[in-house]
Amino acid sequence: MMTGDKAGCGGRVRPLPPWEVPRIAAPTVLTASIPGFMDWDFKDAETIRYGLAGISNSASRSELLLREVIRPGPNDLARPPSGGSITVKPRFVHGVYARAVELGLPVVVSLHTHSCGAFFSGTDQTSTRRHAAVARDFGLHYAQVVVAKSGVAASFLRDGSERPIDLVKVIKPRGIELLWTVNGTCERGEQVDRTVHDRSLQIGGGIEEALRLFGTLRVGFVGAGGVGAAAISTLKFLNVKRFVIVDPDALEVSNANRYIGYRAGDIGTPKVEVQKRELLAYDPTCDIELVREQFPSPASVEALKACDVIVSTPDNHWCRAQVAEFAARYLKPVFDAGAGVYVNEAGEPYRISSTTHIQLPPPLGPCLKCQGVRADHPPHVEAAVEAARKSYIKGYRHSGPTPASVATLVTHAGNQLARHMLYYLSGVGGSEARVPLHFVNEEITLKAEDLSGLWSRQSECPVCGEQAQWGFGDAATRLLESPVKAALETETHEEAVCTG
């Protein structure tokens, strides 16, 4: 634990530089998507707030997921805050713990500012010991964050031992900010190879920071079909180096007209294996984890929990609905794309298009469900979709009537997804610029539509609504699939998309 000998911050402290601490591979991360969570006013007086968080545990990462922030008012302080100290009344602190128990969130987080540096003072360490005892009584865990202009220090008390929080990840309306803590012990983010990315860096703006982010973030892919393969192909050029790829399928001959990475003799090879082969051929240092199962299988959920963002390109909306709830529960942005043939009741294609969606973690934006993605298809539409799929294949084999442009359709969808992901992460256009939540490209007319304005977060939504278990992580009490499926099955849906 890092401490420092700083005058004026109360208590005696012991210096221990972070470079003396052994580095470990598995980081502990505090993730937050609540607007203003890390906006602080560093005046002379210290300020304090508390958070309630869920936990996500996986083999390679522990993550605290901030669900709620509670700020004490002036009457909750024992005395007006002075330059070096602040004291919160027990009644308020008790209320924070009671609220955590009431909601079923397992972690109480205390956050406060230091005007003189990011470290844990003697007073803070005493407070931590007290919180540890109270948290144990309430059956909760405790974490503390000290924020200064110069940086952030954070630790997590769990099962009687204190470990550093390595990274505070702030998910914003535009972009993700990574705040590596001064006491963290894990390896930090990737640098950008300026030779490889020379042409991109010439663009300027936020591109370098975006490439650095891409190189640091672990990206999970649900679906490695035609669109997913195109997205993977583009994102590797954008410096993504850590991949988790989930897909149950193997290549068929009908994939050959659009599947990036397809080689003669690949029929029957799992799509995830093909993507791994192609990625390693491009960059042998890539970190790649494969799950050849249908999401949300337990193995796929476990692997994706360690990811920072989800790229969603499954071939059905039911799976998309699961991605939406999973991502909300674990506070992960979703970049979703699909390409397909819209059919009417007679089974006739009337539109060929690709669609991208962005789901930011609640409360930042509407989930995929609130953006109109629904999982249920009436039987007549299912049959029509099957018919369309057959013509899809026919189009490849015989250059038949529909759809002749499958290759451009799916690769465009994958590229558009990567483009929107870059737009979100780079902050190009400014922090106030609108993220293209819902974007549609019509393949025949080449018409592009931004439909983002149609959607808003619904307060009753089971995925991102007020009572939904977003941010709960492993503490969520519902099964991943059943409630969403049940909720979605009650709705009607007139269209279907068969994705590439």
Count other C-beta atoms under 10 Å from residue 430's C-beta: 8
Q: How far is the CB of 357 from other proteins (least distance, A)?
A: 41
Measured from the CB atom, the residue of 11 and 372 that comes closer to other proteins is: 11
Measured from the CB atom, the residue of 124 and 336 that comes closer to other proteins is: 124
Please tell me whether residue 137 binds other proteins under the rule CB under 8 A: yes
Using alpha carbons, list the distances in angstroms from residue 163 to 114, 120, 166, 183: 20, 13, 9, 10
Q: How far is the CB of 3 from other proteins (least distance, A)?
A: 14
Please tell me whether residue 407 binds other proteins under the rule CB under 8 A: no
Applying CB under 8 A, which part among 131-139, 278-286, 425-433, 445-453 lies near other proteins?
131-139
Contact between 362 and 66 under an 8 Å Cβ cutoff? The reply is no
Measured from the CB atom, the residue of 93 and 235 that comes closer to other proteins is: 93
Binding other proteins (rule: CB under 8 A), the pick from 112, 236, 329, 332 is 112
Q: Which of 319, 289, 281 is nearest to 307 (CA)?
A: 289
Measured from the CB atom, the residue of 134 and 178 that comes closer to other proteins is: 134
Q: How far is the CB of 90 from other proteins (least distance, A)?
A: 4
Positions in 27-86 near other proteins (CB under 8 A): 46, 48, 78, 84-86
Question: Which letter does DSSP use for residue 75 in this model?
Answer: G
Contact between 468 and 362 under an 8 Å Cβ cutoff? The reply is yes
Measured from the CB atom, the residue of 148 and 235 that comes closer to other proteins is: 148
Measured from the CB atom, the residue of 150 and 191 that comes closer to other proteins is: 150
CA–CA separation, 87 and 82 (whole Å): 10
Please tell me whether residue 139 binds other proteins under the rule CB under 8 A: yes
Applying CB under 8 A, which part among 137-145, 179-187, 230-238, 266-274 lies near other proteins?
137-145
Count other C-beta atoms under 10 Å from residue 46's C-beta: 22
The kind and range of the H/E element at 324 are: helix 317-329
Please tell me whether residue 110 binds other proteins under the rule CB under 8 A: yes
**How far, in whole angstroms, is CA 129 from its chain's centroid?**
33
Residue 344 contacts by C-beta under 8 Å, 6 or more apart in sequence?
350, 384
Q: How far is the CB of 133 from other proteins (least distance, A)?
A: 4
Binding other proteins (rule: CB under 8 A), the pick from 58, 60, 123, 294 is 123
Applying CB under 8 A, which part among 34-42, 132-140, 169-177, 386-394 lies near other proteins?
132-140
Q: How far is the CB of 378 from other proteins (least distance, A)?
A: 48
Applying CB under 8 A, which part among 35-43, 93-101, 391-399, 485-493 lies near other proteins?
93-101
Q: Which of 392, 396, 410, 403 is nearest to 355 (CA)?
A: 410
Q: How far is the CB of 476 from other proteins (least distance, A)?
A: 20
**How far, in whole angstroms, is CA 484 from its chain's centroid?**
19
Binding other proteins (rule: CB under 8 A), the pick from 23, 130, 194, 434 is 130
Applying CB under 8 A, which part among 33-41, 117-125, 148-156, 263-271 lies near other proteins?
117-125
Contact between 271 and 315 under an 8 Å Cβ cutoff? The reply is no
Measured from the CB atom, the residue of 135 and 331 that comes closer to other proteins is: 135
Q: Which of 308, 76, 56 is nearest to 175 (CA)?
A: 308
* Torsion angle defined by CA atoms of residues 414, 416, 421 and 424, in that order, rounded to the nearest 10 degrees: -170
Residue labelled with tokens 């609220």: 99
Q: How many residues bind other proteins (CB under 8 A)?
A: 33
Positions in 2-21 near other proteins (CB under 8 A): 9-11
Binding other proteins (rule: CB under 8 A), the pick from 30, 34, 55, 88 is 88
Contact between 227 and 338 under an 8 Å Cβ cutoff? The reply is yes
**Which is it for strands 349-359 and 448-450: parallel, antiparallel or unpaired?**
unpaired
Measured from the CB atom, the residue of 48 and 256 that comes closer to other proteins is: 48
* Ranges assigned E (strand) in 292-384: 309-312, 334-343, 349-359
Q: How far is the CB of 88 from other proteins (least distance, A)?
A: 4
CA–CA separation, 308 and 220 (whole Å): 8
Q: How far is the CB of 472 from other proteins (least distance, A)?
A: 19
Biggest CA–CA distance in the chain, Å, is 81
Contact between 47 and 113 under an 8 Å Cβ cutoff? The reply is yes
Binding other proteins (rule: CB under 8 A), the pick from 103, 134, 383, 451 is 134
Binding other proteins (rule: CB under 8 A), the pick from 25, 133, 346, 446 is 133
Measured from the CB atom, the residue of 121 and 254 that comes closer to other proteins is: 121
Binding other proteins (rule: CB under 8 A), the pick from 3, 127, 239, 313 is 127
Q: How far is the CB of 81 from other proteins (least distance, A)?
A: 9
Applying CB under 8 A, which part among 87-95, 198-206, 240-248, 357-365 lies near other proteins?
87-95
Q: Which of 299, 328, 298 is nearest to 312 (CA)?
A: 328
Query: What is the edge-to-edge ordering of all strands in the sheet holding 151-158?
Result: 161-164, 151-158, 141-148, 107-113, 48-58, 61-70, 28-32, 167-171, 176-180
Please tell me whether residue 106 binds other proteins under the rule CB under 8 A: no
Which positions lie near other proteins, rule CB under 8 A?
9-11, 46, 48, 78, 84-91, 93-94, 97, 101, 110, 112, 121, 123-124, 126-127, 129-131, 133-134, 137-139
